[in-house]
Amino acid sequence: MKNLLKTFHENFGFKIFTAFTILIFIVSSAFTVFFIYHQSSSLTDNLIKNGKLLSEILAYDSKLGVFSENEKLLNNAVDGIFQQEGVLEVSVFNLEKKLLKNQNKPGKWGPKKIIFEDINISNNVFKKLKTYRSSFYIDNKNTIDFWSPVIIGSSYLNEEALFFKENLFRDQNRIIGFICITIDKIILNKRLDGLLAKSISIGIIFLIIGSAFIYILARRITKPLNRLTNSVNILGKSGVVKKVTVETGDEIGKLAIAFNDMSESLKKREEEKHLLEEHLRYTKKMEAIGTLAGGIAHDFNNILAAIMGYTELASLNSSDSDSLKSDLDEIIKASNRAKDLTKQILLFSRQTEQKQKPIKIEIIVKEVLKMMRASLPTTIEIRQNIKTGLDPILSDPTEIHRVLMNLCTNAAHAMQKKGGVLEVTLSDIELDKKTAAQNLDLNPGQYQMLTINDTGHGMDSSVIERIFDPFFTTKKYGEGTGMGLAMTHGILKSCGGTITLNSEVGKGTTFKVFFSAIKSEITVESKQDEQIPHGKERILLVDDEAALVSAGKQLLESLGYKVIAKTNSVEALETFKEQPNNFDIVITDMTMPKMTGENLSKKILAIRPDMPIIICTGFSEVISEKKAKAIGIREFIMKPILRKDIAKIIRVVLNNGKCSPKCSRAVV
* 421-448 pLDDT tens trace: 999 999 988 887 777 776 656 778 888 8
Please report which confidence band the pLDDT of residue 482 belongs to, taking 50, 70 and 90 as the band edges.
Answer: very low
pLDDT for 280-303, tens place per residue?
876 777 677 767 777 777 788 888
* pLDDT score at 478: 44
Is a pLDDT exceeding 90 seen at residue 540? Answer: yes
C-alpha pair distances (Å), 143 with each of 48, 91, 135, 181, 187: 11, 15, 17, 10, 10
Highest mean pLDDT among 205-214, 344-353, 387-396, 530-539: 530-539
C-alpha pair distances (Å), 317 with each of 60, 291, 310, 312, 533: 167, 40, 11, 9, 19
* pLDDT score at 241: 62
Whole-angstrom distance, CA of residue 185 vs CA of residue 44: 9
- The CATH class of the 361-516 domain is alpha beta
- Give which of 662, 630, 606 is closest to 615, Cα–Cα: 630
Is a pLDDT exceeding 50 seen at residue 187? Answer: yes
- 597 and 617 Cβ atoms separated by less than 8 Å: yes
Please report which confidence band the pLDDT of residue 475 belongs to, taking 50, 70 and 90 as the band edges.
Answer: low
pLDDT for 511-530, tens place per residue?
888 888 887 665 554 444 46
Q: At 419, which helix (H) or strand (E)?
A: none
State percent of the chain over pLDDT 90: 12
Ranking 232-236, 300-304, 404-408 by mean pLDDT, the lowest is 232-236
What pTM value is reported for the model? 0.48
What are the contacts of 151-160 at 24+ separation with CB within 8 A?
Answer: 151/59, 151/63, 151/175, 151/176, 152/63, 152/67, 152/176
The residue-averaged pLDDT of 614-643 equals 86
- Give which of 137, 141, 146 is closest to 189, Cα–Cα: 141
Q: Is the peptide bond before 580 cis (omega within 30 degrees of 0)?
A: no
* pLDDT score at 607: 93
* pLDDT score at 238: 65
Higher pLDDT, 444 or 236: 444
CATH fold for domain 2-191:
Beta-Lactamase (3.30.450)
* pLDDT score at 519: 78
Average pLDDT over all residues of the chain: 78
Ranking 115-124, 145-154, 403-412 by mean pLDDT, the lowest is 115-124
State percent of the chain over pLDDT 70: 79
* pLDDT score at 116: 45
Residues 6+ apart with CB under 8 A from 628: 598, 601, 615, 636
CATH 3.30.450.20 residue spans of the chain? 2-191
- 167 and 161 Cβ atoms separated by less than 8 Å: yes
3-state secondary structure of 657: coil
619: exposed, middle or buried (C-beta count within 10 Å: 0-12, 13-18, 19+)?
buried
pLDDT for 336-377, tens place per residue?
878 877 776 666 565 555 567 888 888 888 888 887 887 788
The residue-averaged pLDDT of 647-654 equals 92
- Give which of 117, 232, 132 is closest to 175, Cα–Cα: 132
Is a pLDDT exceeding 60 seen at residue 483? Answer: no
- 62 and 138 Cβ atoms separated by less than 8 Å: no
CATH 3.30.565.10 residue spans of the chain? 361-516
Is a pLDDT exceeding 70 seen at residue 171? Answer: no
Name the amino acid, one letter, at 542.
V
Looking at domain 538-654, which of 3.40.50.720, 1.10.150.530, 3.90.580.10, 3.40.50.2300 is its CATH number? 3.40.50.2300
- 145 and 47 Cβ atoms separated by less than 8 Å: no
The residue-averaged pLDDT of 388-396 equals 82
* pLDDT score at 344: 66
Ranking 150-159, 285-294, 582-591 by mean pLDDT, the lowest is 150-159
* pLDDT score at 529: 47
Ramachandran angles phi, psi of 203, nearest 5°: -65, -40
Is a pLDDT exceeding 70 seen at residue 122? Answer: no
* pLDDT score at 587: 94
Please report which confidence band the pLDDT of residue 481 belongs to, taking 50, 70 and 90 as the band edges.
Answer: very low
- 501 and 510 Cβ atoms separated by less than 8 Å: yes
156: exposed, middle or buried (C-beta count within 10 Å: 0-12, 13-18, 19+)?
exposed
* pLDDT score at 502: 87
CATH 3.40.50.2300 residue spans of the chain? 538-654
pLDDT for 131-149, tens place per residue?
777 888 888 888 888 988 9
Is a pLDDT exceeding 60 seen at residue 661? Answer: no
* pLDDT score at 353: 57
